[in-house]
Amino acid sequence: MTASTELWRLSAAQTAALVQGRAVSATEVAQAALARVAAVNPRINAIVDCRPDQVLARAAAIDAALARGEAVGPLAGVPVTIKVNVDQAGHATTNGLRLQKDLIATEDAPMVRGLLHAGAVPLGRTNVPAFCYRWFTSNLLHGRTRNPRNAALTPGGSSGGAAAAVASGLGAIAHGTDIAGSVRYPAYACGVHGLRPSFGRIANFNATAARDRTIGGQIMAVSGPLARSVHDLRLGLAAMARPDARDPWQVPAPLTGPELPRRAVVCLRPDGMATAPAICDALLQAAERLRDAGWVVDEIDALPPLKDAIPLQLALWLGDGYAQMVKTAEQEGDPGAIAALAGQAEFARGVDLPTYSDALSRRVTVARAWELFLADRTSAVLLPSSAELPFEDDLDLKDAASYQRVWTAQLPQIALPLTGLPALSLATGLVEGKVPVGIQIVASKFREDVCLTVAEAIEARMPSLPVAEPQA
């Protein structure tokens, strides 16, 4: 039996099994998690809102339900974290903004309801860059989040707090969101796993929002789980994907589909991307591990379009209401948000109605090419998460060339959301013991189970990364 003070080390699956079996109480788990937060979070600032009394009250309610013989769900007593850009009743949906520090939610967003229904215990709310605009996590309200594996590197963004938290044992599962890599890149940067589900898999709705999201946000922004094990991603996905009528576009697709051929492809340099050698090595090693699991894995030189998707993604994301986005960013005064928008100013201001309409139409062409490729050629694609190893922190603010370097490297992060396909960021190791590296796995629409199966096969054949121990 793990000592009660070390319960925070356990996976979500292990924790839930112990709590459901009454081997430990949810309260003991919560106390261990809170102690870990107190010991580690001041070094990394991943969780920016933790309320111990609420955490312990929720855990006590789980214990009481178990004592009455009631079912408490597959995540019974599991500590989880919630990103500050979604509604959690009684908490501010700040999105990293001083402008929204008093925007208190009165109801839970769909994925929060799902986690609670599954028996999870929210441990705290995690940090984001202002407006969730960057692959780096800092803002004027909550401050900077540090990468727990290497403080010189970005923790990623916009779910940087989520990834840093789960990497360092602050919760077993973290909630994140992703419109251009905001789940996948933080997972990559912090050495954990992250799943961007298919568009429509997990319901989205914030009652605190003054209006519903624009078209780009509606069709490309999704929520998804981050975790230290692939199996925990499965549990997080199942909990978050609970039906919710507040999102008319949610699709009640089954979480498991029919058996597919055990055939995958690996592409080291999609669209000629200048992939770093260490990332190529990680991809080739992952492919070999997948072959060892009985899969046929072919190395190929080309994939369906990624570069062609970038201007379409940006047009749909930034082209609707860009001037207002700039105005609000300037009102907030956040230098990262202002710089992120300024870097795309020329492009965004050139998006008129015909351009926007054309981007929406051509989105289908790109998505179709990917679906046909997956249907005709392979069950899964292994490709880079980024062309580079995790960036030094705030690289995008250094100068114009550095900003462009960041955006060029992030081709797979930006392009894939346009397709609506699921994509999983799998941590595979540390370069020279200090820089996380990993790969990305893509499958057909609503076939997250294929991404997870491939990831589990690779994970089972590689050393697991230890929980991060941030330096003081």
Just list the catalytic residues. Answer: 83, 158, 182
* 437 contacts 278 by C-beta, under 8 angstroms: yes
The two tokens of residue 387 are 């062309």
Query: Rounded distance, CA 98 to CA 419, Å?
Result: 34
Rounded to 5 degrees, φ, ψ at 274 are -80, 75
CB hemisphere CA count around 53 (13 angstroms): 0
Handedness of CA 357, 360, 366, 371 (dihedral sign): negative
Reference 379, options 457, 312, 438, 460; nearest CA is: 457
* 268 contacts 206 by C-beta, under 8 angstroms: no
